[in-house]
Structure 1
Amino acid sequence: MSYLMPSEFATKMVDAGEEKLAMSTKDTLIRAFMAGAILALAAVFAITVATTTGSPILGACLFPVGFIMLYLMKFDLLTGVFTLVPLALIDKRPGANLPQLLRNWGLVFIGNFAGALSVAFMMSFILTYGYNTDGGAIAEKVSHIGEARTLGYAAHGVDGWFTIFIRGMLCNWMVSMGVVGAMISTSATGKMAAMWMPIMLFFFMGFEHSIVNMFLFPFSMIMGGDFTFMQYIIWNELPTALGNLVGGFCLVGLPLYYTHVRQSAQRKLAAVETRKAA
């Protein structure tokens, strides 16, 4: 698998964050659009498998295919840039500043949403033969998911809001472990294996992923889900995105940076001082 030590791939994380900040608006939007679209297709694929076979674990096992495809193509998800881009600021890389970070996050959000929404319309069209039928079991399943993950949380008030926030944290803890895990190997098979496990875990556990939800909830609304767009934003997308940010940055990006990038620099300095003393 050509395994890399954490001190090596942690530096690659910072490099990746710096590279994303430097990308043009066009490139950022296109990569984000493709990422949102591919992840949406993976989500409907996994739901279809789980619904038709009656095996949720099988759907979860196959969902990472979409994540792997978009990662290998270097497309960008909001969950990934939440983890990587702030590291470039902390490391004081040239050109890395707060306005650039917010610009990157905003463009990736727009691109991801546009890609996911496009797939939502395409899938709803083909499942209903141009909106002439009810869409069958898949459409019904997604409609119920949309209602449960908006109205279901809203019924619990503040506690429901924080429940989805924590689910968002746990989700991007695992998703970002997949993003970073892909950096531990220089081979394609090694990258795929490292990504597969945490992505499968998050999907099967029902944690909340902001980009997957950008597909699920518009699709659910198109197929007759009984909730409003504002209910989706307030009781799902907003707390999920905030949870994704905290989970990816605080539980993956910062721990690796402060224990391997900064610590690595300290060790190098100590080694230099030791050689001088000798």
Structure 2
Amino acid sequence: MSKAFLAPGEIAEATIAIGVKKANHSTINMIILGILAGLYIGFGGHADITIMQTFSQIDVGVSKFLGGAVFPIGLILVIVAGAELFTGNCLMTMALVDKKISIKQMLKNWGLVYLGNFIGSIILAAALVFTGVYKPGSPMAETAFSIATGKMTASVAQIIVKGIFANILVCLAVWMSFGAQDITSKAVAIWFPVMTFVMLGFEHSIANMFFLPLAKYIGFEVSWAQMWLHNIIPATIGNIIGGAIIIPLLYYVVYIKPQRETSIKSNINA
């Protein structure tokens, strides 16, 4: 009888194996799958705005909750349909510290996937504006402006800290999805952490690659340099701290390191 889910130690081993697989994707596959992930996260962002523009005048808390409730479709598509998302790939550091991949392999994956995510995000943002969904002065456009204003008025330090919390939750969602053994369980595992980070207003670098260009395309006054230097790069730094250091390395110490040390001792005694 197959298991319904993996134990944390088994998830750690699975995360390492998946990290190795990701590191060995071809360059073109990393870019293609990165573009798809950018599109998927953008779909979640667009759904978030669609819900929020309806309920924001009724109750802010309800609006944030409902917006957060639909945003997880992006990560569900990434995990279940298959794509490469930079923030989730931060977990590759577990394979790195286990000496299964090189830092060059990891950074190549991060760089190409990050680029692909950006391309996919801005393609979707531009396409949505072209279709007339975000007409100037409409509730959709005003909601997009409101989101962008919040992201650009926070301090760099605040964005970094919010980025840390965002990718702790995103990587926990990815972590739990690795432990789930069926699509329904994966969707549920992803939904709660992602909904929480969106509802709480944390900063996700890839989501911001959609939200900020979208607002710019419909008239929000922000330069590309301001967008990157004040928000996306600080959010990326926070995401790396939360998703590449805190979650994978602490779990490595707890679940993998003792096993490796025991294995070494057994080989020596043998």
Per the TM superposition, whether the score is higher than 0.5 is yes
Deviation at 1:52, TM superposition (A): 1.2
Q: Which consecutive unaligned segments of at least 5 residues does structure 1 have?
A: 154-159
Give the match's secondary structure for 2:216.
helix
Distance 1:148 1:59, change over 3 A: closer
Q: What are the equivalent positions in structure 2 for 1:198-217 lying under 5 Å apart? A: 198-217=193-212
**Amino acid aligned to 1:89:** L
Give the match's secondary structure for 2:83.
coil
**Amino acid aligned to 1:233:** W
Task: Quote the residue 1:103 is aligned against.
Answer: 108
Distance 1:60 1:203, change over 3 A: same
Give the match's secondary structure for 1:231.
helix
Q: What are the equivalent positions in structure 2 for 1:1-278 lying under 5 Å apart? A: 2-54=4-56, 55-83=63-91, 85-93=92-100, 96-127=101-132, 133-134=135-136, 136-150=138-152, 152-153=153-154, 160-267=155-262
Q: Decide whether the 8 Å contact of 2:68 with 2:195 is kept in 1.
A: yes
Give the match's secondary structure for 2:99.
coil
**Amino acid aligned to 2:14:** K
- State TM-score, norm by structure 2: 0.91
Distance 1:42 1:128, change over 3 A: closer
Higher-Rg structure is: 1
Task: Quote the residue 1:157 is aligned against.
Answer: none
Deviation at 1:100, TM superposition (A): 1.9
In 2, Cα distance between the equivalents of 1:230 and 1:187? 42
In 2, Cα distance between the equivalents of 1:148 and 1:198? 21
Deviation at 1:2, TM superposition (A): 0.7
**Amino acid aligned to 2:90:** F
**Amino acid aligned to 1:145:** I
In 2, Cα distance between the equivalents of 1:261 and 1:74? 26
In 2, Cα distance between the equivalents of 1:188 and 1:128? 31
Q: Decide whether the 8 Å contact of 1:43 with 1:63 is kept in 2.
A: yes
Deviation at 1:98, TM superposition (A): 2.1
Q: Number of residues paired by the alignment?
A: 261
Distance 1:90 1:269, change over 3 A: closer
Could you say what the CA RMSD is over the residues aligned between the two structures, in angstroms? 1.9
Moved more, 199-208 or 255-264: 255-264
Give the match's secondary structure for 2:219.
coil
Cα deviation 1:32-54 (Å, max 9, x = unaligned):
10001011011111111121133
Give the match's secondary structure for 1:149.
helix
Deviation at 1:123, TM superposition (A): 0.8
Q: Decide whether the 8 Å contact of 1:178 with 1:198 is kept in 2.
A: yes
- State TM-score, norm by structure 1: 0.88
